Amino acid sequence: MSAAFTIFAKKVARERRIPFEVSADPFYSDSNIRYLEEIAKDIREGKAHFAEHELIEDET
């Protein structure tokens, strides 16, 4: 662990940046938020239809 951090720290110092890309969680993208808002609207207006389903398959 110590060696890994040393390598990381040296690379940061040498390149003056984090040596990997940092990105936002795609769940919070504008298009996904709009999609979720539409679903919430359908639920509020009673337009959404839900069906029961098995979450875990029966292995018997």
Q: So what's the pLDDT on residue 40?
A: 94
Position 38: which residue type?
E
**For each successive 10 residues of the chain (60 residues), what is the average pLDDT?**
93 92 85 93 91 69
What does the alpha-carbon distance between residue 3 and residue 22 come to, in Å, rounded to a whole number? 23
* CA dihedral angle for residue 36, residue 37, residue 38, residue 41, rounded to 10 degrees: 120
Give DSSP secondary structure letters for 1-60.
-HHHHHHHHHHHHHHTS-SS-----GGGSHHHHHHHHHHHHHHHTT--------SS----
pTM of the model: 0.45
